[in-house]
């Protein structure tokens, strides 16, 4: 049914976007949003159908890979696309479908250079899929952990800055990523593209479907989780919406990405999950003694990894920091590279 916005501007739309930040700091409403002095139109007057892509219209190609949500395919829909088919056999569940729709209504509002282009979604259960632009580049994970590519400090800084800009944008739109990690950051022709924001709550539903009820910890996940989240992990907890994801937990995860950029490895890399959980929960951090980097570079890492959420900087501050970083260093000692071990590859 077509909906028109009510005269009062109050939304009665059952599909209105939930705001996924603390209510005091909510900045996105589906009725009218004022950002930077602009008045944005009421988007709930636009039917979700505009973002529906009939499954039959998609030409599916090869599988690119399988992750937590389901399977990602190369696809064709008015050009090359990535199709993320959610693996939810139990999706006759009305609540799960509603949740998926509300995630999608968040994605359709994102327009930023460093954020993946959302093109639409297939909403007919059991065929649920998200269609985005296809990244032709590699993920940061592939660059750093598999190929062992060495980025010089300038490139490292530019990448960190672009991540901060994309994340700052998502946060300003009221979107918490919840799964920021090097596998969800692509480098397309040197440009950062962030993917898979906000999808985490859909994932949990998949967790919830598992037969055994022990907590399943995907490899390489723990080191992105902030202390307040780690402390909430329980073996019998299947509802991850109980986990306190926030803007500052995204900043903590970014700290880990910054560490990966600097060291090409994960913090706590050789340690078993229980040891990581114990240490992070107590506020202990990966030691930086072996990291050859300037004080500034290490400080930003320590700030992002602050035990107290309120001590972590926001992404606007981080972007400013990275903006100043290379110039500052060049002004100080142009002939002395911070990373003596790094190649001069650009
Ligand atoms: P994960 O993020 O844990 O690797 P995903 O399910 O998100 O798991 O992704 C599965 C695979 O599909 C990964 O190899 C990922 O790099 C790839 N992929 C995801 N989104 C895109 C995209 N938009 N373009 C190209 N490849 C993608
Ligand atoms: Mg992913």
Range in 109-118, 142-151, 234-243, 305-314 with the lowest mean pLDDT:
234-243
- pLDDT tens digits along 252-263: 999 999 999 999
197 Cα to the center of ligand 2, angstroms: 9
Per-residue pLDDT at 99: 75
Residue 45 Cβ < 6 Å to ligand 1: no
- pLDDT tens digits along 120-174: 998 776 678 899 999 999 999 999 999 999 999 999 999 999 999 999 999 999 9
Q: Mean pLDDT for the chain?
A: 78
Per-residue pLDDT at 6: 38
Residue 82 Cβ < 6 Å to ligand 1: yes
**What tokens does 228 get?**
């307040």
Q: Greater confidence, 138 or 32?
A: 138
Q: How many CB atoms lie within 10 A of CB 183?
A: 18
Residue with tokens 């110039």: 327
ipTM: 0.98
Task: State which of 65, 85, 110, 198 you would mutate to test the pocket of ligand 1, scoring each by most atoms of that ligand within 8 A of its C-beta.
Answer: 65
Ligand 1 atom closest to 116 (CA): 23
pTM of this structure: 0.80
Q: What is the C-alpha separation between 9 and 6, in angstroms, rounded?
A: 5
Mean pLDDT of the region 213-236? 80
Q: What is the C-alpha separation between 137 and 118, in angstroms, rounded?
A: 17
Strands (E), the chain: 33-35, 38-40, 59-66, 70-76, 80-86, 118-124, 127-133, 138-139, 185-188, 191-194
84 Cα to the center of ligand 2, angstroms: 9
**What tokens does 332 get?**
């100080």
Residue 65 Cβ < 6 Å to ligand 1: yes
Per-residue pLDDT at 232: 87
């Amino acid at each position: 049914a077509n909906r028109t916005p009510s005269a009062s501007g109050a939304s009665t739309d059952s599909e209105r976007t939930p705001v996924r930040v603390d209510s005091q700091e909510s900045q996105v409403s589906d009725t009218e949003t004022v950002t930077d002095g602009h008045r944005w139109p009421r988007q709930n007057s636009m039917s979700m159908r505009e973002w529906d892509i009939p499954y039959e219209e998609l030409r599916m190609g090869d599988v690119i890979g399988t992750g937590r949500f389901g399977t990602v395919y190369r696809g064709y829909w008015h050009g090359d696309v990535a199709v993320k088919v959610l693996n939810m056999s139990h999706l006759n569940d009305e609540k799960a479908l509603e949740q998926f729709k509300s995630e999608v209504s968040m994605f359709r509002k994102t327009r930023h250079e460093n954020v993946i282009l959302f093109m639409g979604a297939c909403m007919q259960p059991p065929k649920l899929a998200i269609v985005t632009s296809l990244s032709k580049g590699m993920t940061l994970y592939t660059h750093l952990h598999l190929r062992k590519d060495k980025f010089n400090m300038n490139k490292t800084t530019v990448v960190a800055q672009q991540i901060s800009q994309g994340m700052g944008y998502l946060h300003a739109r009221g979107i918490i990523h919840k799964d920021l990690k090097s596998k969800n950051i692509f480098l397309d022709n040197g440009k950062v593209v962030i993917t898979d924001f906000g999808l985490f709550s859909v994932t949990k539903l998949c967790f919830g479907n598992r037969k055994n009820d022990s907590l399943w910890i995907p490899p390489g996940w723990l080191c992105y989780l902030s202390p307040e989240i780690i402390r909430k992990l329980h073996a019998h907890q299947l509802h991850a919406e109980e986990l306190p994801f926030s803007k500052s937990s995204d900043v903590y995860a970014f700290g880990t990405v910054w560490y990966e950029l600097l060291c090409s490895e994960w913090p706590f890399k050789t340690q078993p999950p229980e040891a990581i959980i114990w240490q992070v929960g107590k506020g202990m951090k990966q030691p930086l003694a072996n990291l050859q980097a300037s004080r500034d570079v290490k400080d930003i890492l320590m700030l992002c990894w602050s035990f107290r959420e309120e001590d972590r900087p926001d992404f606007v501050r981080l972007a400013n920091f990275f903006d100043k970083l290379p110039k500052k260093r060049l002004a100080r000692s142009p002939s002395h590279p911070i990373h003596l071990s790094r190649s001069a590859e650009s």
